[in-house]
Structures are given as C-alpha cells and as structure tokens.
C-alpha cells in the first residue's frame, strides 16, 4: 500500500508538476489514511470501499480537523483513488461517490461600541505617531476598509470636503466609501500636523507613511493595532479585520440596510455580507433570553 502512495507522489511531482508544498499536503493525508487502514487491518487498497473512506473522514473530523481542511483531504483521496483506478490497481473508484462536508459559516468576531471607544480614546495624538495611528484606526472603524485598502490608500483619492474616499479593492474594483466626522477630523489633523514631518525623498502619495517616509505596510498596521489595543488595556485579541467586522455589525444593529453594507464593504456577493445577519440574530437571542420573562 505504501509503495502505491510513493508512486502517486512521484506522479504528481513529475507528470503533473505540482508544487512541493502540495505534494507534502497530499502525503500527510495519505499517511494518515495508511495509519488508519493499518489499524483496521486493511492490506490492499482494493479492500477499501466507499463506507470505509467515509469512516476515515469521520475519524479525521473527530480529531478536530476543520471543515475546510476536511474538504482538502477529500480532494486528496479523490485524486489518489482515481490514479489507482486509471493505473488498473482498482476496478472501482471508492472515493468517487464521496460528497464534500457541509461547511458551517463561522461567525466573525466583533467588538462592542464601548470597546471601540476605549481603543480610540486611548490614543494620545500629541505623542509621536499618535495622529497617524488615530487616523488609521478611525478610518478602519468609520469606513470598514480592508487592511490592504488602508495600506494602499492615496491622498488624491481622499475628499475631505465631501467626506469620501475612493478605494480600489478586491478584483480591482473601485468604490466610493463615506468617512465619518470623527475620522475626517483625525485625518485632517494628521495631514496638516504629522504627515508633512514624515515626508522624505522616498515618499509617494500614499496616505499613511512610516517614520522613513515610505508607504506603511499591512504588517506594520497589524502591529500597531495590537500595540494600541494593549496600551488601552483591552484583553481581547485585536486585529485590523476585527474593526471591519465591528463596523458592519454596528451598522446592521442600528438599522442599516444589508445591501448598503454590502456596497460599503465592497462585497461582490450579498451572501458574503449575510454573515452579519447571523451576528445580529445571535445578539437578539441573547437579549431576549436575558430580559424576557420566559426567555
């Protein structure tokens, strides 16, 4: 059985030209299958049927393998057993009838409004880079931008008078995103009082700069968000996308239309935005349970 696994790995490496990382991923799945098969006293691949492979996938799921990882493992099984059948090691492909596991939508984490306020008000704009960092966090929460969109934001696409910023998001799609009053104020202070001090010969028109005058990177933004949260005394794990989730959730909680939130977030499909309705339903259930006499 192991010889055929080796033969298959050689096949996807040489004939299919698949990456070393993919080969390793497939090898890990098939090694788990080999170990499981040995425990079940199987000695040949032809002895395994569809029910046996279903049992193996159940074994993987019970070992805390996530749904997405389980789907990947299923793909590995399908291409392996298809290979065995085509090479006449099997008469019937037992993996062909297997269906991918249903994926359950993972609800996004969010911050409550009080925690967001605590984070933002903890930043002292009079300290070094305080104006920049406050402008970044205010813009995150005010407009729900992605991390890459904050990093790539440019001055020429910012309209402080009409309170909009033009963003090029996923799929090179451009959208106009409104900016709230507090974020506008933070941006105005940063642009007039701090950004000019960061400008150097290397400086482009990127909105947010490092101390060297270069475009701030997503990694640096992640770092400063965590540092600011720690400084604010917030124990929860804070990361940039959490502010985007909070932006969308708080809009929905306060009555915003889901289609509007979809447009603001730059989601191509409304189904991506609908995850926030589950967050709101979860909140409503908890309020009902807490306050209703028969909750």
**CB atoms near residue 142 (< 10 Å):** 22
Burial of 149 (0-12, 13-18, 19+ CB in 10 A): buried
Whether the CB-CB separation of 37 and 29 falls below 8 Å is answered with: no
Q: Is 245 a catalytic residue?
A: no
Angle, vertex CA 94, rays to CA 88 and CA 98, nearest 5 = 140
- Exactly one of 106, 170, 173, 231 is catalytic; which is it? 170
Q: Is 241 a catalytic residue?
A: yes
Count the helix, strand and coil residues of the chain and give each as a percent rounded to the nearest 5: 60, 5, 35
- Exactly one of 59, 61, 89, 267 is catalytic; which is it? 267
d(CA 293, CA 295): 6
CA atoms within 13 A on the CB side of 203: 17
**Beta strands of 77-149 (E only): which ranges?**
none
- Exactly one of 27, 89, 182, 241 is catalytic; which is it? 241
- Exactly one of 76, 132, 146, 245 is catalytic; which is it? 146
Q: What is the DSSP string of 239-280?
A: -HHHHHHHHHHHHHHTT--HHHHHHHHT-SSHHHHTHHHHHH
Q: Is 276 a catalytic residue?
A: yes
Q: Is 267 a catalytic residue?
A: yes
Token pair 């995103």 is at which residue?
A: 177
d(CA 77, CA 92): 14
**CB atoms near residue 33 (< 10 Å):** 25
Q: Is 250 a catalytic residue?
A: no
**Residue 224 Cα distances to 108, 115, 126, 220, angstroms:** 21, 17, 16, 6
- Exactly one of 131, 195, 244, 250 is catalytic; which is it? 244
Q: Give the helix/strand (H/E) hosting 282.
A: helix 275-291
- Exactly one of 131, 228, 245, 276 is catalytic; which is it? 276
Catalytic positions, please? 146, 170, 241, 244, 267, 276
């Amino acid at each position: 059985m192991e010889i055929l696994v080796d033969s298959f790995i050689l096949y996807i490496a040489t004939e299919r030209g698949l990456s070393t990382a993919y080969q390793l991923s497939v090898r890990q799945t098939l090694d788990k299958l080999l170990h499981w098969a040995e425990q079940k006293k199987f000695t040949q691949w032809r002895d395994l049927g569809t029910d046996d492979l279903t049992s193996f996938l159940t074994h993987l799921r019970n070992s805390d393998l996530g749904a997405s990882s389980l789907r990947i493992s299923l793909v590995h099984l399908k291409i392996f057993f298809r290979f065995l059948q085509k090479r006449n090691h099997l008469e019937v492909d037992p993996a062909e009838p297997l269906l991918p596991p249903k994926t359950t939508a993972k609800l996004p984490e969010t911050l409550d409004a009080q925690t967001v306020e605590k984070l933002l008000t903890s930043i002292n704009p009079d300290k070094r880079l305080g104006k920049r960092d406050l402008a970044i966090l205010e813009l995150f929460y005010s407009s729900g931008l992605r991390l890459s969109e904050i990093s790539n934001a440019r001055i020429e696409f910012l309209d402080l008078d009409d309170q909009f910023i033009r963003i090029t998001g996923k799929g090179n799609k451009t959208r106009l995103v409104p900016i709230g009053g507090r974020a506008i104020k933070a941006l105005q202070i940063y642009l007039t009082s701090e950004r000019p001090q960061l400008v150097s010969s290397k400086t482009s028109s990127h909105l947010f700069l490092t101390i060297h005058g270069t475009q701030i990177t997503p990694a640096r933004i992640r770092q400063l968000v965590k540092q600011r949260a720690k400084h604010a005394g917030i124990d929860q794990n804070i990361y940039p996308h959490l502010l985007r989730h909070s932006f969308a959730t708080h809009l929905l909680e306060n009555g915003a239309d889901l289609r509007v939130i979809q447009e603001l977030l730059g989601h191509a499909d409304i189904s991506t935005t609908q995850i926030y309705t589950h967050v709101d339903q979860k909140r409503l259930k908890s309020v009902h349970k807490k306050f209703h006499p028969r909750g």
